[in-house]
Amino acid sequence: MTKPTIPARTTAPGPTAPVGDLSPRAEIRVLLIGNVDRPEMAWAIASANRGPAAAISECNEAADADGRLASVCWHHADDFRAAIELIDAGAPIPEVAVFVQPYPGCFAQRDIEDFRRRYPLVRLACLSGSWCEGESRSGRLLNGVLRVLWHQWALQHDRQLAALADSPPGPWALPPTATPDEHLLARAARPQRCVSGAVGIASIEQARACIAAQATESLSRTASTVSAVSAVSSVLRWIAADSPPAPAQQACRMLHEACAARGATGVFLRAEFARAADSQTSDQDGKESSFDRPAKSPCPLRAVVAEVASLDGRARSLVAHLASSVAPAPLALLASFPRIDQAAAAVAVGASAVLAKPCDLDDLFAWIERAG
């Protein structure tokens, strides 16, 4: 993946506004600090300029529903010292500084404290790569910064920047001493946008288990493993159901309840197979077999959300099958610890978004709102 182009306005900036000026239609200045060459960092940063990451998310304009945020002006410094020199040379002091951290240890806590002493009103965030996902369990997190993982950036950066001009302000506008609990309380205090329509809820793992069971049954009647699996895949159907699909019942039920809380209608989609006996019966009766019907709901699906444990090759084939089955509704995947190569491969076969489990519901419904 090539080095991303850091988004920047082509027009000359106007007079420098004082730090903290977040009046309606204020320009937000963002300074990226650090190495942006890692593939996942390039993917995340490009989302701000509708680059490669635009395939994952169309949430790339930092503006709220009322259009109160006019523009975002981006700058980049290779490291901490270069950022200090850039500002000392006359560059406008940013509203937000983002420390780009592909690996743990790219920045020391003293760097954060030094930057804070120099520019006390600048909000600080940390864009973390895949190698930083275990920091909260086995490492030491940077204090005084809002941490955003690379796969969260496409769905969060625009919303957080737009919320700087809101009242009440978003998490990026909280004091640097705010604790994680206070960040959660601030988010809970903000009004939640509701969405309408039907949202499909599926499980790639349930389809995988269904294929494994059917392949075992087919192998008892044929000696060819390839032909058996091929025959199984050719009759896979996604059927609207009343109950959450196993083995991800708890996760799917949670998504169903979240849809209801946000005003949408959750529709469970279960993977099933059309059996020869059912097909013969339906042909004789002149009726369509229930297994041959595509996924249906009382109204067209606005979007589909599918959980997946691992985005390996078999899962990607099922993702492709589901995406084609529910088209034109976009498909979002909830994956465990997604990696950039897996996310890119999933997008290549038809997924519109890849989010991580545990899922941030604000991110999910922001995607559903815009995807619909």
User: Across residues 16-32, what is the average pLDDT?
Assistant: 57
State how far the Cα of 149 lies from the Cα of 88, in Å rounded to an integer. Answer: 29
Rg (CA), the chain: 24
Whole-number percent of the chain with pLDDT over 70: 71
How many Å separate Cα 335 from the centre of its chain?
10
- Amino acid 225 reads T
State how far the Cα of 334 lies from the Cα of 52, in Å rounded to an integer. Answer: 20
Range 198-371: architecture per CATH? 3-Layer(aba) Sandwich (3.40)
State how far the Cα of 80 lies from the Cα of 287, in Å rounded to an integer. Answer: 69
Q: Which residue has the tokens 């000359």?
A: 12
| Fold classification of 27-188 (topology level) | Rossmann fold (3.40.50)
- Local structure of 300: helix, strand or coil: coil
- Amino acid 330 reads P
Cis peptide before 168 (omega within 30 of 0): yes
The tens digit of pLDDT for each residue in 298-353 reads 568 999 999 998 888 888 899 999 999 999 999 999 988 888 888 889 999 999 98
State how far the Cα of 142 lies from the Cα of 108, in Å rounded to an integer. Answer: 8
The tens digit of pLDDT for each residue in 216-243 reads 766 655 545 444 444 445 578 888 888 8
Same fold yes or no, 27-188 and 198-371: yes
